[in-house]
Amino acid sequence: MVMGKRNSVIVLSSDDENDGTTCSLSGSNSYAKSKSRSTSSRRKKKARLSGSRSRSSKDSSKLYEINELGEDFNEVFTGFNVSAAGTHRNHSGELWVHKHKPHFLEELAVHKKKVEEVKMWFEKRLKPSQGISSSNVLLITGQAGVGKSAAVHVISSHLGAILCEWNTPTPVIWQEHLHNSSSGTQYISKLDEFETYVERIRKYGLLSTYLNGESKAPIIVLIDDLPTTNGKAAFGRLQDCLHLLVRSTQIPTVIVFTDYGNSDSADHDAQCLEKIQLSLQSAGACKIAFNPITANSIKKALFRICQLEQCNVSAEQVDLIAKASGGDIRHAITSLQFFCLERNQVHSLSLSSNFLSVSREKEKKSSNFLSVSKEKEKKAITLDDGYSLHFSRDETLSLFHALGKFLHNKREFESTTKYEHDTFLIRERFVRLPLKMDVPEKILCHAHVQPGPVADFLHENVLDFMNEEAIDDASIVSSYLGDADILLAKLRGMASRYNEAEGVLPSAAASVAVRGVLFGNSHTLSARWHAVRGPKLWGVERESLYNKNKMLKQRVAEFEGLTSCNASVIATEYIPVSKWIGNRARGEYHESPQLLADDLDMDGIDFDQMILDDQENDDEIEDW
Amino acid sequence: MLWVDKYRPKTLDQITVHEDVAQNLKKLVTEQDCPHLLFYGPPGAGKKTLIMALLRQMFGNSAEKVKVENRTWKVDAGSRSIDIELTTLASANHIEMSPSDAGFQDRYVVQEIIKEMAKNRPIDTKGKKGFKVLLLNEVDKLSREAQHSLRRTMEKYSAYCRLILCCNSSSRVIEAIRSRCLNVRINAPNEEQIVRALDFISKKEDLQLPSGFAARIAEKSNRNLRRAILSLETCRVQQYPFSSKQTIPPMDWEEYISEIASDIMKEQSPKRLFQVRGKLYELLINCIPPEIILKRLLYELLKKLDAELKLEVCHWAAYYEHRMRLGQKAIFHLEAFVAKFMSVYKAFLIATFG
């Protein structure tokens, strides 16, 4: 959106000849403090398509300030462009993301069910007949660019409601503040502003104050951007104020949370958001989580845009863009625009061929299981003038997602390997079908995980994903995991001496573990639901260390002095015997050899907490 | 108190099984300064008993006042400092520890503790500077690096402390260390000696021990005196008076492993492998060393196996045992062995029975 045009004020009527949706508006300037904004007419698309402007200003008394009118205009002009000079449409300087915003429910790339869910929620709240419903706050969560705000916009316009947005105030820089302070402007913290805003909508229902009840359209408040908080106190304030909002607001309110991916869950901010979400939910807010958009929906959307823009992008390229976007449609559209732009203007030479060669290269890579090194992969990317992958988003994967890929081990159904590339032939039993995923090392890179844990996780879970009969596979896999373990152990031994070795060895170990699993598990189960567990091994290691110390202490306490035995002797000989004797003496001898774990009580240590809680991995493992 | 502890010889004079060794050691300590010592021999042969008696000979009763400490060392390793936690047994005159418990950081422990001991050396009654004894268990499990660093510190601080090293097999101790120590081989007592020891104990306990039964215990103990005495005690609890046909109860973990073995023989599948893993974890939690698990498991499997497979299975056991030493997480390799066995055995079954 072009900011310069944003503030233009236009008078126009809400003519009723079109599809029921009225023009809506907002008052971002007139109402200085309430930073609310709303979407504009939904008719612009129609207008653009027809290339003519059917709106006429009537002498209506209703004056609306159209906030996004600039955009409207822009669109109209581009619309004219279409009819006038079809070739230049790419240079209108507008982002396609805004230009091709979804305007109808059908255009939303979000999954229909989710849209329906949100719509239902709104309908329930907006129906005047319905009494006070449970809560008027809806939380929408999802990754960046999955169409959270877009969905709200479209649905509200579909329902003919006015959408008021909390507009994040521009942050004040320190210099600016110094400059302003001389002129007497006081600094207001953004959190304060937000608080007063929330307070107002909560108490007075906000819009009635400046809409003067003129519009009968229902109002929806959208809070898209929560102020950042620093420190516990500020966070507490934000939480309290939102909590109050959930409890008492009368207007349907949507709060949009952006998940930053679970991989960075150590991040403090993400944790805060998580906390807020939970507290709001417990206060009665309804939560709808948006999943990343599927590659297919993105493709559809991209094709639609391609059609509108009349640009020539092959299906293959669209496919690649869609896949590279990682479920982020905003990113996908921008990539598409960039891609088209690049070819048309900047880089007319051989980009597409380059581009294709990369994709072919990739294919070859994944089919050729034996080509290993990460270095090579990197080279392949950088070789192509750095252009080819400009549009791909730096994808991050959660650990569980990556594990899911490795464990499910999806492969093509038939070998497409062309033997002209491979100068050597592989023996029958070593041949595997090409992988249906990126090079494993790349996935590991994306998942940002330590090699040790990867091996542990794979070890814990891989047996679940194996065919019942395939014990040979199991033995191959476990041998490879053993190799990985040896590599990791080597590293540990000399970590301090050879620092430069630290980088290569663990990634080699992780690579061996992953590839071992992929290679060994040659008779995969058909796709089935499996939960991924956290490694039990960690708990076992801790427990055994704890028991060892305890054993030693006990032994010394019992026989002060002359004991001095090493732990293995105590564990294998003394403990069993004294236990046996103890049981016998108490007359509680059991015929079956119960292991001694129950005797060494675990007081004081909570192992459950140590074992990674694996609730979070539930829907991670599905591949979308 | 268990009989093993109760009837453990306290002084070098009381020792019966390795009498000659004990007398030599006594001479060595009384007549001159004692060198570094390396005791090696199979488990249950009496290494520790000798060492403790030796310490008592050197320091008198004070050697018996031992306390357990769970200490943390801060070690400066190049760019960062590492915390190492280790359990030690210490008296005023000696410290005992198993540095191999620290895993790959064992070499820091060895160096640090010796340096520290050198700093505060005890002064004996005559105002002469004395020395402390550092007793290191399981030296054969130390990494090569640790053994090398041990060698250097041994020379540097030999004025302040004496090392007594104790291990099962001297072949895993590097040549340099072996040559700096007085090597003392403690071989396993033969069955006669074991029977004599058992007789001695039963006399003290006022028990009637049929000679055939004692021989059976001795035979079952695999020339491990400690094991024999423990068995005697369990048998006593199980049934008295003894009958010579009485069964000798096995250790619970051994039974557990034989259960695992029959599990493995019954079914060979990833699912079963997973169950076996659970059981192996159980053993590891109870601190049964993985090498012993592997050894015992092999033993149990061989009992049930066809002769033609034995060679191959032994080969794989050795292979994975070696890898276990190279690696860090024993369960990976234990499981790999089990999987390999399952795979081999299943192929064998299919080949024989179709």
Nearest residue, CB atoms, B292 vs list A456, A467, A572: A572
Interchain pair B64, A496: CB under 8 A: no
Q: What would the mean pLDDT of A460-480 be, rounded to a whole number?
A: 86
In tens, the pLDDT along A9-43 reads 443 443 434 443 333 333 334 333 433 343 344 44
Please report which confidence band the pLDDT of residue B236 belongs to, taking 50, 70 and 90 as the band edges: confident
Tell me whether residue B317 is exposed, middle or buried, using C-beta atoms within 10 angstroms of its C-beta: 0 to 12, 13 to 18, 19 or more. Answer: buried
CATH of B3-185, one of 3.40.50.300, 3.40.50.12780, 3.30.499.10, 1.10.8.50: 3.40.50.300
Residues from chain A contacting residue B137 (CB–CB below 8 Å): 566
Nearest residue, CB atoms, B336 vs list A478, A559, A584: A478
Position with higher pLDDT, B275 vs A28: B275
| ipTM of the complex, rounded to two decimals | 0.81
Would you say the C-alpha torsion B330, B333, B336, B341 has a positive or negative sign? negative
Q: Mean pLDDT lowest for which of A315-319, A546-550, B80-84, B88-92?
A: B80-84
- Which region, left, alpha or beta, applies to residue A21 given φ > 0 means left and ψ of -120 to 50 means alpha? beta
Domain extents in chain B = 3-185, 191-238, 252-353
pLDDT of residue A340: 76
pLDDT of residue B39: 92
pLDDT of residue A161: 79
The CB-side HSE value for B231 (13 A sphere, CA atoms) comes to: 28
* Token pair for A594: 């119960």
- What value does the mean pLDDT of chain B take? 84
Rounded CA separation B115/A144 (Å) = 57
Q: Which of residues 81-110 of B touch A (CB under 8 A)?
A: 87, 89, 96, 98, 101, 103-104
Comparing alpha-carbon positions, the chain B residue that sits nearest to A590 is B252
Residue B9, pLDDT above cutoff 90 = no
* pLDDT above 70: percentage of residues in chain B: 94
pLDDT of residue B295: 92
Q: Mean pLDDT lowest for which of A140-154, A600-614, B117-131, B297-311?
A: A600-614
Nearest residue, CB atoms, A580 vs list B77, B234, B282: B234
Residues from chain A contacting residue B239 (CB–CB below 8 Å): none
Q: Decide if A144 contacts A134 (C-beta within 8 A).
A: no
Interchain pair B327, A485: CB under 8 A: yes
Tell me whether residue B352 is exposed, middle or buried, using C-beta atoms within 10 angstroms of its C-beta: 0 to 12, 13 to 18, 19 or more. Answer: exposed
Residues from chain B contacting residue A588 (CB–CB below 8 Å): none
In angstroms, the separation between the Cα of residue A512 and the nearest Cα of chain B is 14
Position with higher pLDDT, B213 vs A624: B213
How many residue pairs bridge chain A and chain B with CB atoms within 8 Å of each other? Answer: 215
Position with higher pLDDT, A554 vs A497: A554
Position with higher pLDDT, A281 vs B253: B253
Q: Decide if B58 contacts B93 (C-beta within 8 A).
A: yes
Please report which confidence band the pLDDT of residue A381 belongs to, taking 50, 70 and 90 as the band edges: very low
pLDDT of residue A33: 40
Q: Decide if B133 contacts B88 (C-beta within 8 A).
A: no
Nearest residue, CB atoms, A548 vs list B77, B282, B287: B287
Three-state SS at B129: strand
Three-state SS at A258: strand
Q: Decide if A139 contacts A279 (C-beta within 8 A).
A: no
In angstroms, the separation between the Cα of residue A567 and the nearest Cα of chain B is 8
Other CB atoms within a 10 A radius of the CB of residue A272 amount to 18
Comparing alpha-carbon positions, the chain A residue that sits nearest to B44 is A569
* Token pair for B25: 């050691």
Q: Decide if B132 contacts B165 (C-beta within 8 A).
A: no
pLDDT of residue A215: 53
Rounded CA separation B267/B96 (Å) = 45
In tens, the pLDDT along A245-291 reads 777 777 778 888 777 654 444 456 666 777 777 888 887 788 888 88
Interchain pair A577, B234: CB under 8 A: yes
Interchain pair A463, B277: CB under 8 A: yes
CB under 8 Å to A9, separation ≥6 — which residues? Answer: A65, A66, A69
In angstroms, the separation between the Cα of residue A219 and the nearest Cα of chain B is 58
Cβ of residue B136 closer than 8 Å to a chain A Cβ = no
Domain B252-353 in CATH 3.90.940.20? The answer is no
Please report which confidence band the pLDDT of residue A126 belongs to, taking 50, 70 and 90 as the band edges: confident
Rounded CA separation A537/A460 (Å) = 8
Residues from chain B contacting residue A474 (CB–CB below 8 Å): 270, 273, 339, 342-343
In tens, the pLDDT along A418-457 reads 555 555 666 777 777 777 777 888 888 777 777 778 888 8
Rounded CA separation A435/A412 (Å) = 6
Comparing alpha-carbon positions, the chain B residue that sits nearest to A497 is B78
Q: Which of residues 292-311 of B touch A (CB under 8 A)?
A: 292
Comparing alpha-carbon positions, the chain B residue that sits nearest to A554 is B68
Nearest residue, CB atoms, A593 vs list B145, B252, B292: B252
Which residue in the block uniquely carries the two structure tokens 């590659």?
Answer: A295
In angstroms, the separation between the Cα of residue A414 and the nearest Cα of chain B is 26
pLDDT of residue B277: 93
When mean pLDDT is compared over A178-187, A303-312, B197-206, the highest value belongs to: B197-206
Rounded CA separation A12/A25 (Å) = 11
Displacement of CA A340 from its chain's centroid (Å): 27
Does the fold of domain B252-353 match that of domain B3-185? no
Nearest CA to B275 out of A536, A522, A458 is that of A536
Domains of chain A: 1-101 (no CATH), 105-291 (3.40.50.300), 295-383 (no CATH), 399-533 (no CATH), 541-610 (no CATH)
Nearest residue, CB atoms, A559 vs list B5, B67, B104: B5
Interchain pair A547, B286: CB under 8 A: yes
Using only C-alpha atoms, what is the Rg of chain B? 23
Position with higher pLDDT, B340 vs B30: B340
In angstroms, the separation between the Cα of residue B282 and the nearest Cα of chain A is 8
In tens, the pLDDT along B137-181 reads 888 888 777 888 888 888 887 777 888 898 888 888 889 889 988
Residues from chain B contacting residue A607 (CB–CB below 8 Å): none
Residues from chain B contacting residue A595 (CB–CB below 8 Å): 252-253, 256, 282-283, 286
Would you say the C-alpha torsion B264, B270, B271, B277 has a positive or negative sign? positive
Please report which confidence band the pLDDT of residue A206 belongs to, taking 50, 70 and 90 as the band edges: low
Q: Mean pLDDT lowest for which of A220-229, A366-375, B276-285?
A: A366-375
Three-state SS at B166: strand
Residues from chain B contacting residue A562 (CB–CB below 8 Å): 5, 8, 10, 52, 64
In tens, the pLDDT along B32-79 reads 677 889 999 988 888 888 888 888 888 877 777 777 777 777 776 666
Q: Decide if B261 contacts B36 (C-beta within 8 A).
A: no
Q: Mean pLDDT lowest for which of A64-68, A130-134, A326-330, A414-418?
A: A64-68
Rounded CA separation A595/B285 (Å) = 10
Nearest residue, CB atoms, A492 vs list B287, B328, B333: B328
In tens, the pLDDT along A47-99 reads 344 443 434 434 433 334 334 444 444 444 443 333 333 334 444 567 777 77
In tens, the pLDDT along A208-227 reads 444 444 456 677 888 877 77
DSSP H/E element including B71:
strand B67-77
Interchain pair A580, B252: CB under 8 A: yes
